[in-house]
Structure 1
């Protein structure tokens, strides 16, 4: 039975992007293994058969396995068709002539990941992909959220098992309110099916489970699910059966009822409130279809601790280490004893919140079996401690790769799902309503409480078939919210990029101005040196371009007479120790050590006080950043100091 739901907002008719050749290709299918702009984390293999065309494509039939011609370029997202309905799955008969099928070319939830069909957004959107549906668009068993060992019909309402307990969830969670559905047992209650001899027959467990409940086990395996057994009529959770109702088997119709309190809104002042809506999902291409890959919510150690039937601590730190003597004698170490003080104590477990006034009940052929479970555990994630939060914040996204992260918040898919578990060849058929074989009373809670319902009371519960379109509307509302947030983030990032670009332009401008000033300063220095060389006395020119006469009388500090350097001596190198320059021209070093003697003028002498070579200390000037000193001007400063010393000597002699 197909029940149509409302399409996504503004997505009734979705045009296709033009291909590189300019022609529209709305019916094109994807080619596995080709290049994709969306990050692909799975190995691609060429399928043996082509997948089903998009149900929204012209000429396609829902559920038909019609091959389609590959017309779309895989170069970028603009060449992909915009789909409102997922292409998958492809139905492969389990046996020849069987009404049950295996589903291929879909992302099956396993290995800690789950998958949601995604569609390419039209141009102008900030987000590349959005949530889309898969056929049939109605409340049914989820194609992706079930064990691959379970076979299904094309309408998704009938399931058949194979070996061992395997489970499936439906495609919409219950988050609040009162909801009811029926499940007809086609084969179950220990009935043997087929010619194959098995130690046990076919069995069924029905119940409600959260996202964390494993699909490779039955309902009630842990604290994440609550089940009802066909063999004994027991209720079971945490793998602990308790007497509840009567057994049921083939031909019986089981009514499943759940009541949850109103979902509370997240505290806006508390950024770490687990009730905040936040998604952690990555769009990928998987088996010819775009999917959102999501890291499944992990099981908490607090829930795992509830599985300890013995009541003893599961912390290995409390167990003493084995001694060599006990091992030599063949004795195992005792499991009792004091806790090893050297071991670090295990962190305290967080409290497990429950949903007040919540309840789960079952009906057999319209007969109430009473309340099975009440005040069940809350489906929200446990609040992270500061230590856990800081440890996870240290994990950064690698450059060029977007990594999955655990989501401590509600992504809109949390809740309790109808949980169907089949053993061996068991077979059931779901009836989400609105027409039931055994309609319950208008006020189920009054019946469970043993009170008399008011006459002509309005129905207080809803059939689960109404939940699917409501759930999809919630998902599209979150899509719209993420789109707005992405646009705001893009605008903010564009503003940041604009500011950074302006800063970069200003830095380049200042650098060019500084280089221009530097070049102008060097040009001025060279012009000054050239002018001083042009006004000097004709004669020979020294290394720095300073002209001098063939014979010059210079005063030698420390001596009362002047010395005259002859022509034949003026090219003799003289070490200029005081300036750190040796053998430049024919000018002597004014230092008193130029004759390599021990003579030194003590402080206070005329020669010391009237030294013609001023130093940094005598002039009282600071050297460093204030003077513009750098490695490029160091040589120029040395030249100027030498020239100043020469000028001073010439002035004194004249």
Structure 2
């Protein structure tokens, strides 16, 4: 059933050109077409909003495209590391992935594809530009301060296992002097993080990720040491395994529904009366609910071309005020900064039953439990109890609190001063997990993600063709 909110077919190409560039008044024939389209929309119970159809590709685009070529940047720890120019990286509220022409798609024209090596590895799009990578995109390093990269696959539900092999980390170095003595120290932090986590800082810097320090094995969250997960930390040659356990998406959504009802019951009695005055805001929240009611995935993908290669330009998830407050619980009044004592964590939903089990060289260590939720909750900004929508795209406020199928937890690796670490997504591991049949190697997640992308490409095309039909002239 078409989603009347997401559906955004275009005005006919000639109509758009006339109205946008020549500023001409609509002709009688154009008016007739629009009237016919409106009546058909009413008959089909669907609302069609104007959109710009993607620019058709050129015949030469169908053939192999020129891809940015990596070049050697440095060699250390018996590994050659590369850098690449002219490849867009995720930042400033936007993210990118490779696209390709699709002759079978008559409305959207393009489909999703990927870069080599076509397996679970470090994403060249989802990394700091200061991160250098091996040829197989599994090992990273940097010659700078803390820089991070996420894997190209995220975990949304189920149980998945992966390993991080420490290639170069000087766990005996003084971390307090690390920033000023980069040549004498090499450090690694590893863990998992959501889309909003900063790539210009180590994992665990903010409230969007959980990181482990090499020096002492402490769990780091919001730049604060919490508890020791790995006794003695880890150093060069160690292998740290992560077994991520998340409930099904269905169960996660049921948990969020209960959370929303609980928070709404805490709202002031006159809250609903006051909010009726802001009709636009209320409608936006209702739209969010309708977006997610049938597990809809909202992907705003704009095909662009750069240096001969085709990419999808998408909106990225960005930080929220509540999560920023966890990192810096200070309110500024003029020249005074006051530390707030109110516990903001009570207004952040968690995934009950979620867990990250940590292993060092095959031995299980302390687990990380009850991870913060990543799915949207459809909650308005409520100043009285400091609630806000937990999933936002600051560059695309009309589509806040929606899921584009990238929400989840991603393996995140952070390096400092020639620290180096390798991501092993399997299926072969140095220290395999137990024989539990429900545990999958992270490598399986890549194959699942490819199928998901293709499924949503097809669904988007079917919807676009259906809605484009309302503007066709019989």
TM-score between both structures, scaled by the size of structure 1: 0.51
Choose which of 37, 61, 65 in structure 2 pairs with 1:81.
61
| Cα distance change of structure 1 residues 99 and 335 upon mapping to structure 2, 3 Å threshold | closer
Unaligned runs of 5+ in 1: 1-74, 323-332, 337-347, 389-401, 444-458, 499-654
- 3-state SS in 1 of match to 2:250: coil
1:378-527 alignment to 2 at 5 Å? Answer: 378-385=373-380, 406-443=399-436, 459-494=437-472
Higher mean C-alpha displacement, 170-179 vs 197-206? 197-206
1:228-247 alignment to 2 at 5 Å? Answer: 228-244=212-228, 245-246=230-231, 247=233
Separation in structure 2 between the aligned mates of residue 191 and residue 412 of structure 1, nearest angstrom = 41
Matched-pair contact (CA < 8 Å) for 1:187–1:249: yes
- 3-state SS in 2 of match to 1:100: strand
Separation in structure 2 between the aligned mates of residue 305 and residue 218 of structure 1, nearest angstrom = 18
1:138-153 alignment to 2 at 5 Å? Answer: 138-153=119-134
| Cα distance change of structure 1 residues 368 and 199 upon mapping to structure 2, 3 Å threshold | same
1:589-600 alignment to 2 at 5 Å? Answer: none
Q: CA deviation at 1:270?
A: 4.0
Separation in structure 2 between the aligned mates of residue 405 and residue 103 of structure 1, nearest angstrom = 34
- 3-state SS in 2 of match to 1:212: coil
Choose which of 289, 306, 314 in structure 2 pairs with 1:286.
306
Are residue 354 (structure 1) and residue 332 (structure 2) matched? no
Q: CA RMSD in A?
A: 3.3
1:28-67 alignment to 2 at 5 Å? Answer: none
Are residue 255 (structure 1) and residue 241 (structure 2) matched? yes
Separation in structure 2 between the aligned mates of residue 252 and residue 478 of structure 1, nearest angstrom = 40
- 3-state SS in 1 of match to 2:467: helix
Separation in structure 2 between the aligned mates of residue 183 and residue 109 of structure 1, nearest angstrom = 23
Choose which of 113, 125, 131 in structure 2 pairs with 1:132.
113
- 3-state SS in 2 of match to 1:467: helix
| Cα distance change of structure 1 residues 197 and 417 upon mapping to structure 2, 3 Å threshold | closer
- 3-state SS in 1 of match to 2:74: coil
Q: CA deviation at 1:492?
A: 2.0
Are residue 180 (structure 1) and residue 153 (structure 2) matched? no
Higher relative contact order (CA 8 A, sep 6+): 2
Q: CA deviation at 1:150?
A: 1.1
Matched-pair contact (CA < 8 Å) for 1:295–1:406: no
Aligned residues: 363
1:246-325 alignment to 2 at 5 Å? Answer: 246=231, 247-264=233-250, 270-273=289-292, 276-309=296-329, 314-316=330-332, 319=333
| Cα distance change of structure 1 residues 96 and 363 upon mapping to structure 2, 3 Å threshold | closer
Q: Which residue of 2 aligns with 1:517?
A: none
Q: Which residue of 1 aligns with 2:70?
A: 91
Matched-pair contact (CA < 8 Å) for 1:280–1:406: no
- 3-state SS in 2 of match to 1:290: strand
| Cα distance change of structure 1 residues 442 and 370 upon mapping to structure 2, 3 Å threshold | farther
- 3-state SS in 1 of match to 2:190: strand
Separation in structure 1 between the aligned mates of residue 372 and residue 299 of structure 2, nearest angstrom = 22
Separation in structure 1 between the aligned mates of residue 242 and residue 131 of structure 2, nearest angstrom = 21
Separation in structure 1 between the aligned mates of residue 200 and residue 444 of structure 2, nearest angstrom = 28
Matched-pair contact (CA < 8 Å) for 1:352–1:382: no
Q: CA deviation at 1:162?
A: 1.5
Q: CA deviation at 1:350?
A: 9.5
Q: Which residue of 2 aligns with 1:589?
A: none
Structure with more strand by fraction: 2
Separation in structure 2 between the aligned mates of residue 471 and residue 273 of structure 1, nearest angstrom = 20
| Cα distance change of structure 1 residues 334 and 470 upon mapping to structure 2, 3 Å threshold | closer
| Cα distance change of structure 1 residues 255 and 486 upon mapping to structure 2, 3 Å threshold | same
Q: 1:527-579 CA deviation, whole Å, 9 max, x = no partner?
A: xxxxxxxxxxxxxxxxxxxxxxxxxxxxxxxxxxxxxxxxxxxxxxxxxxxxx
Matched-pair contact (CA < 8 Å) for 2:101–2:111: yes
| Cα distance change of structure 1 residues 403 and 421 upon mapping to structure 2, 3 Å threshold | closer
Matched-pair contact (CA < 8 Å) for 1:357–1:375: yes
Separation in structure 2 between the aligned mates of residue 87 and residue 407 of structure 1, nearest angstrom = 35
Q: Which residue of 2 aligns with 1:510?
A: none
Are residue 157 (structure 1) and residue 150 (structure 2) matched? no
Separation in structure 2 between the aligned mates of residue 441 and residue 220 of structure 1, nearest angstrom = 28
Q: Which residue of 2 aligns with 1:224?
A: 208
Q: CA deviation at 1:276?
A: 3.0
| Cα distance change of structure 1 residues 207 and 269 upon mapping to structure 2, 3 Å threshold | closer
Q: Which residue of 2 aligns with 1:374?
A: 369
Q: Which residue of 1 aligns with 2:188?
A: 204
Structure with more helix by fraction: 2
Separation in structure 1 between the aligned mates of residue 108 and residue 291 of structure 2, nearest angstrom = 25
Q: CA deviation at 1:122?
A: 0.5
Q: CA deviation at 1:170?
A: 0.6
Separation in structure 1 between the aligned mates of residue 404 and residue 182 of structure 2, nearest angstrom = 43
Q: 1:133-171 CA deviation, whole Å, 9 max, x = no partner?
A: 211111111111111111111211111122111100111
Q: CA deviation at 1:100?
A: 1.0
Structure having the higher Rg: 1
- 3-state SS in 2 of match to 1:145: strand
| Cα distance change of structure 1 residues 405 and 91 upon mapping to structure 2, 3 Å threshold | farther
Matched-pair contact (CA < 8 Å) for 1:295–1:404: no
Q: CA deviation at 1:78?
A: 3.4
